[in-house]
Homo-oligomer: A and B are copies of this chain.
Amino acid sequence: MVRFDEKDREILKILRKNGRITLTELGRELGLSPASVKNRIDKLRELGAIQGFSAVVDPSFLDRYVRVFMLLKLKAEDPEVDRILSKFAVLDNVQTIYRTTGRTQALIIAEFEDMDEMKRFAGRLKHSLGSLLEYIEWGTIYDSIKECWTDTKKRGGSHGHKGGHI
């Protein structure tokens, strides 16, 4: 068991909103030296409190024009499910996979170049889960109001891209 105090919580909150803040600036806000902040962040990573850092990116700039969520209705609670989903987690199309309660048992968020690629993905998902899967309910994500703790307000100006970010 490791110590974990209010300043650690504050670090987590600030890093969620600004993942690239400097240790120096973070230290100013907390009243700590940069070295202490580094020690704490290293500790938080060790603990698993911080699992990584990520940029919030508009997928249309990667030519991913189809973004979807999928709700998986599973027939059985087989430990195999997690193993299979972990295989899909490594794909670079997949942003998020959660295990959930409710009418469905898993939530996947992923992005694709087109509907065709999405359908192939869904097909492989069905094939891999086989009899464990009852059905997939899905929909497209056509707008993001907030994402990963980052407000995604629209700024003015197009940049000539085809589709996406209005």
Contacts and interface: CB of A to CB of B under 8 A. Distances in A.
23 contacts: A1-B160, A4-B159, A13-B92, A16-B54, A18-B54, A19-B55, A48-B154, A49-B57, A49-B61, A53-B56, A69-B100, A89-B145, A89-B151, A95-B149, A97-B145, A98-B147, A99-B141, A99-B142, A99-B144, A101-B139, A101-B142, A102-B140, A104-B139
B50 A57 contact: yes
Contact of A137 (B53, B54, B92, B103): B103
A9 interface: yes
Grouping DSSP codes into helix (H, G, I), strand (E, B) and loop, the A interface class, with mixed when no group exceeds half, is mixed
Given A1-B159, A139-B103, A150 B52 contact: yes
Interface of A: 1-2, 4, 8-9, 12-13, 15-20, 44, 47-58, 61-63, 69, 82, 85-86, 89-90, 92, 94-104, 107, 137-152, 154-155, 158-161, 165
Contacts of A47: 61, 159
Given A12-B62, A97-B146, A20 B53 contact: yes
A49 B160 CA distance: 13
